Amino acid sequence: MAKVTLEHITKRYEDVTAVDDMNLDLRDGEFVCLVGPSGCGKSTTMEMIAGLTKPTEGEVYIGDRNVTKLPPKDRGVAMVFQNIALFPHMDVYDNISFGLRLRDYDKEEIDRRVDNAADIVQLEGMLDRMPDEMSGGQRQRVAIARAIVREPEVFLMDEPLANLDAKLRVHMRTELQRLHKELDTTIVYVTHDQAEAMTMSDRIAVIDAGELQQIDPPLTCYNSPENLFVAGFIGSPSMNFVDGEVTQNGLETEYFDVALDPGTIDGLSVGQRVTMGIRPEDIYPVAVDEGLQYPTNRIPARTDVMEPMGDEIFVYLLLEGAQEATMGTESRGSGQLLMSVDPDSDIQEDEEVNIVLDRSKVHLFDTTSGEAITHDITTTPVTEGRAERGETGGDA
Amino acid sequence: MASETSDGPLARWTQGVIEDTEQRNRLYRSLFYVVTLFFLVTTLFPFYWLLVLALTPNSLIRQGNWDLPFLRPQGFNWEAFVEVFQQIPFHLYVFNSFVLALITTVIVLFIASLAGYVFGRLEFPGRGVLMLGILAISYFPPAAFLVPLFEAFTGNVVVLPFVGVELFKPPRLVNTPGAMVLPFSALFLPLSIFILTTFYGQIPEGLEDAARVEGTTRLGALFRVIIPLSAPGVATASVLTFIAVYNEYFFSSIMALSNQPEQWSPLVGGILSYQTQYTTSFNLMAAASVIGVLPVVILVVVAQERIVSGLTAGALKE
């Protein structure tokens, strides 16, 4: 149990900078997910915490110790790898006890700890099996047991569930949360799976291009993303973005206008190029917008493809004047919006609809810098929205 | 139908092989036996011939009255296998070769493991050049090293060429295992380095990382995880090295100043000492050769499975 601190960590390879001046402060006992697209430096960051990779610049602290120059074995960390990495020539007992045997624990202590760890991950009675006689989920449990048996100060997990099938992944996810509750150890968890990050972590650290974009509790990242990258990365399907320009009476985009008072929002000036973000669930067809406290004007659109998911339907909307284009959930062209509606709504494909946006959920970002300006464009204060805006506005 | 009748027997047979699975399998099977037989004859006949020579009394060998075409022993003189040890202490020559091979194998495996780890698993500037250098040196003819090594191992003072400045006086190593193990190790290292580089390079990075996080150093991970998992490669490298040194005669015949077992003369030296100025005991030489082969046969039988998979794995990797 220890906090983990990264100070100005930079990792440069010959021609690329994998991690650029990263500062992270992970609290004792916290479950933190590092998320980001492939190649963003999240695994490199973890390897530097583990000591498998040496940072070019900066310091790593675990607890109060500066471990920057220590080899992995002296850092008090345990790691679970994406490819599981069990030693294929050893049985489960030898795998789990590998670290303990290296540290010359006596036989009874090793036995006790191995039994205990096997108990936690429910592997009793399998200690004499070889790794190739086990299923993927069992192997992953052995890998986790190998990590917890050493009672490390920090757990590092590098996409431990990535190679498991979907059902097992959900199951292991809950097991890991249970484990975290039981052990109360600091866990650093690398993933590119949003669901894992959202459901398990106390805080999410969003990383892109080797730089930390935001570190906040999952819902804060979701509701108040600090910049365009976080807004687009967190949430599935991702947020809709529409470019526009601020005028005296509101926001003018190529397809529609949204009324707002630029004077009441900090950091917003007339003539500024901004990108408006709106999540699919904050777009409503006019027919069902009655409950909405702050709707925008009606925006005419035409429905295109529908994707019924069971609990909701994703409707692709073409705004008036937009080109019809090939679309996927993650690649929306300009003039296209994704709306999520109730499964029993009677929207049809290729139908004219009027939609409204929830103004209290409209995000504005500066187009050039990508920084968030506001996450609520209602001029009358909405208590919750205000509080969040104040917090993130300072950072941005 | 019409075309079939006009075909000759060969064409019909060919057609049959192409169309009929059973006929095809029969052909494959017979081809397999033909090729196997060929290799068995070419490899086992020399060994059989050694046995024939060993069992035939020397006087009959020199008469040369073999009843062709079947080359069978003329008489059954098994005493040759005993006489081998009575004429000279042949077991000491075998012991010498065995010990030299063992020491060399241990040294080569240790150094080649470290080198294989570095070349197979680490990225560093100059890796390609160094590998190429090792490859190039492995093609140098061993004879080229002989004169300077002999100079050094006889304990002559090393002198700077042309200047005449005396540098140091190396220890006198001739007639000791050192004079043979050192050049053998150097000569057989490149092969083992290449084999082990291939094998160690194949072990997933994650396993080494896991071992290091669990509490080993890089070196510890090499010995506890990478080498055990590369057992076929290690077995291949060690058997190849062992056999090469066990058979070696060129260097050791020169580094052992006379053909005496006390001066670490090797197995082949022992076999050759059945040949004197006036007589050549072919039957004893043959018997000694058969005896000399036995330790290697035992070694190969023991390590067989691993060597085969090691050789093919290495071949496939290329």
**b vs e for A105-138, b when ≥16 Cβ sit within 10 Å of the residue's Cβ?**
beeeebeebbbebbebbebeebbebebeebeebb
Within 8 A by CB and 6+ apart from B138, the residues are B190, B191
Least confident residue range of A238-252, B19-33, B89-103: A238-252
Q: In the predicted model, is pLDDT for residue A359 greater than 70?
A: yes
Average pLDDT, whole number, for chain A? 84
Are the beta carbons of A85 and B229 separated by less than 8 Å? no
Q: Are residues A17 and A85 in the same domain?
A: yes
Place of tokens 């194949």: B202
Domain count, chain A: 2
Where among A197, A228, A259 does a domain terminate?
A228
CATH of the domain at A376: 2.40.50.140
Q: In the predicted model, is pLDDT for residue B17 greater than 90?
A: no
Least confident residue range of A211-215, A258-262, A300-304, B70-74: B70-74
Among B209, B214, B224, the strongest candidate for a mutation testing the A interface, having the largest count of A CBs within 10 A, is B214
Q: In the predicted model, is pLDDT for residue A381 greater than 80?
A: no
CATH of the domain at A163: 3.40.50.300
CA distance A233 to chain B (A): 28
- Of B141, B65, B90, nearest to B266 by C-alpha is B90
Place of tokens 């099996």: A129
Least confident residue range of A59-73, A121-135, B68-82, B267-281: B68-82
Are the beta carbons of B215 and A71 separated by less than 8 Å? no
Q: Are residues A32 and A171 in the same domain?
A: yes
Residue range B28-38, pLDDT digits in tens? 999 999 999 99
A276, two tokens: 């408006």
- Over range B78-92, report the average pLDDT: 89
Q: How far apart are CA A32 and CA A11, in angstroms?
A: 21
Q: In the predicted model, is pLDDT for residue B188 greater than 60?
A: yes
Residue range B216-254, pLDDT digits in tens? 999 999 999 899 888 888 988 998 999 999 999 999 889
Q: In this structure, what are the phi and psi dihedrals at residue A327, rounded to the nearest 5 degrees?
A: -135, 150
**Percentage of chain A with pLDDT > 70?**
91
**Percentage of chain A with pLDDT > 90?**
24
H or E, element range at A180: helix A166-183
Q: Are residues A310 and A385 in the same domain?
A: yes
pLDDT of residue B109: 95
Q: Which domain holds residue A28?
A: 4-228
pLDDT of residue A392: 39
Q: Please give the residue that has the higher pLDDT: either B61 or B209.
A: B209
Within 8 A by CB and 6+ apart from B255, the residues are B150, B153, B173, B174, B175, B179, B180, B183, B264
The number of C-beta contacts closer than 8 angstroms across A and B is: 62
Are the beta carbons of A79 and B209 separated by less than 8 Å? yes
Taking each helix axis as running N to C, give the angle between helix A107-120 and helix A92-102, from 0 to 180 degrees, rounded to the nearest 10: 130
Q: What would the DSSP string read from start to end of A128-168? A: T--GGGS-HHHHHHHHHHHHHTT--SEEEEESTTTTS-HHH
3-class secondary structure, A217: coil
pLDDT of residue B241: 93
pLDDT of residue B19: 87
Please classify residue B313 by burial: count the beta carbons closer than 10 Å to its beta carbon, then call 0-12 exposed, 13-18 middle and 19+ buried.
Answer: middle
Q: How far is CA B78 from the centre of its chain?
A: 29
Q: Are residues A324 and A378 in the same domain?
A: yes
pLDDT of residue A318: 86
- The amino acid occupying position B65 is N
pLDDT of residue A1: 63
- Over range A246-255, report the average pLDDT: 82
Where among A186, A205, A228 does a domain terminate?
A228
B31, two tokens: 């081809």
- Over range B129-157, report the average pLDDT: 88
Q: Please give the residue that has the higher pLDDT: either B73 or A147.
A: A147
Q: Are residues A160 and A173 in the same domain?
A: yes
Q: Are residues A247 and A220 in the same domain?
A: no
User: Would you place residue A324 in the very low, low, confident or very high pLDDT band (cuts 50, 70, 90)?
Assistant: low
pLDDT of residue B260: 87
Q: How far apart are CA A382 and CA A392, in angstroms?
A: 16
Q: In this structure, what are the phi and psi dihedrals at residue A303, rounded to the nearest 5 degrees?
A: -75, 150
Q: Say if CB A18 and CB A12 are below 8 A apart.
A: yes
3-class secondary structure, A122: coil
Task: List CB contacts (< 8 A) between B220 and chain A.
Answer: 102
pLDDT of residue A84: 84
Q: Are residues A57 and A174 in the same domain?
A: yes
What does the CA dihedral B77, B79, B84, B86 come to, rounded to 10 degrees? -150
Q: Are residues A214 and A244 in the same domain?
A: no
Q: How far apart are CA A354 and CA A299, in angstroms?
A: 5
pLDDT of residue B28: 92
Q: How far apart are CA B151 and CA B96, in angstroms?
A: 23
Q: Which residues of A touch B (CB under 8 A)?
A: 47, 50-52, 71-73, 77-79, 81-89, 98-99, 102-103, 146, 150, 156
pLDDT of residue A121: 82
- DSSP secondary-structure letter at A238? P
Task: List CB contacts (< 8 A) between A71 and chain B.
Answer: 212, 217
User: Would you place residue A394 in the very low, low, confident or very high pLDDT band (cuts 50, 70, 90)?
Assistant: very low
In 3-state terms chain A splits into helix, strand, coil percentages (rounded to 5) of: 30, 30, 40
pLDDT of residue B181: 93
Average pLDDT, whole number, for chain B? 86
Q: Please give the residue that has the higher pLDDT: either A29 or A290.
A: A29
- Over range B251-260, report the average pLDDT: 89
pLDDT of residue A385: 40
Q: Say if CB A295 and CB A359 are below 8 A apart.
A: yes
Q: How far apart are CA B259 and CA B247, in angstroms?
A: 16
Least confident residue range of A24-28, A347-351, B147-151: A347-351
- DSSP secondary-structure letter at A272? -
Q: Please give the residue that has the higher pLDDT: either B3 or A180.
A: A180
Q: In the predicted model, is pLDDT for residue A390 greater than 80?
A: no
Where among A182, A199, A228 does a domain terminate?
A228
Q: What would the DSSP string read from start to end of chain B? A: -HHHHHS-HHHHHHHHHHH-HHHHHHHHHHHHHHHHHHHHHHHHHHHHHHHHHHHS-HHHHHHT---TTS---SS--TTHHHHHHHHS-HHHHHHHHHHHHHHHHHHHHHHHHHHHHHHHH---TTHHHHHHHHHHHHTS-THHHHHHHHHHHTTPPEE-TTT--EEE-----TTSHHHHHHHHHHHHHHHHHHHHHHHHHHS-HHHHHHHHHHT--HHHHIIIIIHHHTHHHHHHHHHHHHHHHHH--HHHHHHSSSS-GGGT--HHHHHHTTB-SS-B-HHHHHHHHHHHHHHHHHHHHHHHHHHHHHHHHHHHH-
Among B209, B213, B217, the strongest candidate for a mutation testing the A interface, having the largest count of A CBs within 10 A, is B213
Q: Starting at the edge strand that comes first in sequence, how are the strands of the sheet with A352-357 ordered?
A: A283-285, A352-357, A299-308, A313-319, A336-341
Q: Are residues A123 and A269 in the same domain?
A: no
pLDDT of residue B127: 92
pLDDT of residue B309: 61
CA distance A44 to chain B (A): 13
Q: How far apart are CA B178 and CA A89, in angstroms?
A: 37
pLDDT of residue A384: 41
Q: How far apart are CA A151 and CA A155, in angstroms?
A: 9
- Of B6, B22, B24, nearest to B14 by C-alpha is B24
- Over range B267-279, report the average pLDDT: 88
Q: Structural domains in chain B?
A: 1-77 (no CATH), 79-317 (1.10.3720.10)
3-class secondary structure, A114: helix
Nearest CB neighbour to B210, from listed A85, A103, A150 = A85
Nearest CB neighbour to A73, from listed B206, B212, B228 = B212
Q: Are residues A131 and A235 in the same domain?
A: no
Q: In this structure, what are the phi and psi dihedrals at residue B4, rounded to the nearest 5 degrees?
A: -60, -40
**Percentage of chain B with pLDDT > 90?**
39
Q: Are residues A268 and A174 in the same domain?
A: no
Least confident residue range of A135-149, A287-301, B113-127: A287-301
Residue range A331-358, pLDDT digits in tens? 466 678 888 888 887 888 888 888 888 8
- Over range B13-34, report the average pLDDT: 90
Q: Please give the residue that has the higher pLDDT: either A8 or A327.
A: A8
Residue range A168-220, pLDDT digits in tens? 788 888 888 888 888 888 999 998 888 888 888 999 999 998 889 999 999 99
User: Would you place residue B197 in the very low, low, confident or very high pLDDT band (cuts 50, 70, 90)?
Assistant: very high
Nearest CB neighbour to A72, from listed B204, B213, B229 = B213
Are the beta carbons of B209 and A83 separated by less than 8 Å? no
Strands B166-168 and A154-158: unpaired
Q: Are residues A34 and A93 in the same domain?
A: yes
